[in-house]
Amino acid sequence: MPKRKDPANVLSDGIMDMTLGGRIFACREKSGLSTEMLASLLGVRPATLKAWENDRSEPRVNKIVALAGILGVSPTYFLAEEGFKGGSVGIPRGRAGKLLQKLKQEMAEIDEEQKQLTRRLHKIKLLVDRL
């Protein structure tokens, strides 16, 4: 998570400040979203999101607003570290919320299918071992 240390002077206390990329990374981690999932919700490539998180590039204003909505913080939090209540991240609404709900449902279905296949595989293995 990128941080920037300002030299101690009259205007700075020398405390480490989190960069824009560091704030994006921290919020994404706290939300539990993978880089790929958040990139998909934002409509960008995962490499683009990683570049933002590593301070190699910066998102446009519309993407900062979208990030804030998805991650449950104020857009000003990303720009000035203001507007973060420190609570849990809210559930995305609108298109992002629907996509997230659909993905969660798909994950649950795949998980159940995997459990069924594992039980079936175990039964087959028992039969083969008896032969």
Residue percentage of the chain with pLDDT more than 90: 40
Do 53 and 95 reside in the same domain of the chain? Answer: no
Tell me the residue range of the domain where 105 lies: 91-131
| Mean predicted lDDT score pLDDT of the chain | 80
pLDDT of residue 92: 60
Do 78 and 117 reside in the same domain of the chain? Answer: no
| 15-27 confidence digits (pLDDT tens) | 446 889 999 999 9
Do 34 and 80 reside in the same domain of the chain? Answer: yes
Question: Are 41 and 69 in contact, with CB atoms under 8 Å apart?
Answer: no
Q: Is the pLDDT of residue 42 over 50?
A: yes
Q: What is the pTM of this model?
A: 0.57
Do 2 and 56 reside in the same domain of the chain? Answer: yes
Do 73 and 14 reside in the same domain of the chain? Answer: yes
**Distance set, CA 110 to CA 12, 32, 63, 67, 113 (Å):** 52, 19, 31, 28, 5
Coil, strand or helix at 19: coil
Tally the domains of the chain: 2
| 86-130 confidence digits (pLDDT tens) | 444 555 666 767 777 777 788 888 889 999 999 999 999 999 988
Do 113 and 54 reside in the same domain of the chain? Answer: no
Do 21 and 57 reside in the same domain of the chain? Answer: yes
